[in-house]
Amino acid sequence: MVLTKELQKKILDFVFNKPRTIQEISHLIGKNWRTADTYVEKISQETGLINGRTFRGGTRGALKIVFWNNTEKINSSQFQERLFKQIEHARRQEDFSPLDIYQYIDKDKKRAFSEVVVDEKLSKTQDIVGLFARAERQILYFSGNMSFLEMKEKKKNILEIIEEAAKRGVSIKVLARIDIASLDNFRKMMEINHKIGREAIEIRHAVQPLRGFIIDDKEVRLKEEKNPEKYKKGELKAKTRLFYEIYDPEWVVWIQKVFWNLFRTSIDAKIRVKDLEMIKKL
């Protein structure tokens, strides 16, 4: 069954007024419970406007509530408000450190690790295969120009790992800087959609400082790079990547809201690519 734009709007308007059960949405649209739940999941993945939570899961009395995901009210604390302003106004990766987020997380809800960069296109410690394998429905990807796609892990190309996730039905949303330098990477990502026969990957143009992934509602991994050229001689011996993992549900939700705020206010990469290709011809 196809989820039309009209039906999507009907569900969004219904949930906007107040939280609803899946059963109520089912009655509204004249579909069974399972179809209504599928529609809600699809709208949540594609727009970030609504979300669902199941109470008493695994019991006969399980109840799923669908509620409006108020992304306009991103910040629940002064710390988050200040961090969002910094992210919103930053453009380059070096303009904002994920450590500024990480420092507010309880120690039992986070983990950090690092790797020395020996080969720009090879990672030995990131375990991208394992990270993406944990995604059940959605990956949100903060990127620069998607140069990450050129990397390999255990002789496996990153594009293959992304394709495997897309084939499993995982929705992948990407914020990336779309310019002349990133056109090839954009085409490689869109080729995955063509190969699997559906729009699993959506990319929008944004210049922003974060690099990393949000896996479902469960975890966030953010990255920053430290280059010896930016330090006094001897302060940093080699180029180093730092990784910050966050498992605190409150902060995972906040970082999701940051992503969706940037995503909804960014232009579809396909539109930008058309203009870039026209400029190249000229």
pLDDT tens profile 71-101 = 555 666 788 889 999 999 999 999 999 999 9
Helices (H), the chain: 5-17, 22-29, 33-47, 78-89, 99-102, 128-133, 158-167, 183-196, 249-264, 269-281
Mention every residue, 6+ apart, whose C-beta is less than 8 A from residue 68.
15, 16, 19, 49, 50
Residue 200 host element (H or E): none
In the chain, the number of structural domains is 2
Which of 201, 221, 203, 219 lies closest to 211, judged by CA? 221
- The verdict on 114 and 202 lying in the same domain is yes
In a domain, 167, yes or no: yes
In a domain, 178, yes or no: yes
* Strands, sheet with 110-116, edge to edge from the N-terminal-most edge strand: 110-116, 240-246, 219-226, 212-215, 138-142, 171-176, 201-205, 267-268
Can you give the pLDDT at residue 132? 94
**% residues pLDDT > 90 (the chain):** 52
Domain boundary among 26, 46, 68: 68
15: containing domain: 5-68
Can you give the pLDDT at residue 210? 97
- The verdict on 107 and 17 lying in the same domain is no
Domain boundary among 41, 68, 95: 68
- The verdict on 18 and 92 lying in the same domain is no
In a domain, 138, yes or no: yes
More confident residue, 73 or 184: 184
In a domain, 73, yes or no: no
CATH number (domain holding residue 24): 1.10.10.10
- The verdict on 272 and 144 lying in the same domain is yes
- The verdict on 113 and 238 lying in the same domain is yes
- The verdict on 59 and 132 lying in the same domain is no
Q: Which tens digit of pLDDT belongs to each residue from 23-57?
A: 899 898 888 988 988 888 888 877 878 888 888 76
**CA dist list (Å): 104 to 39, 217, 275:** 35, 19, 42
In a domain, 11, yes or no: yes
CATH number (domain holding residue 176): 3.30.870.10
Q: Which tens digit of pLDDT belongs to each residue from 213-233?
A: 999 989 999 999 998 888 778
- The verdict on 64 and 196 lying in the same domain is no
Domain boundary among 50, 68, 86: 68
- The verdict on 176 and 277 lying in the same domain is yes
- The verdict on 39 and 169 lying in the same domain is no
- State how far Cα 47 lies from the chain centre: 12
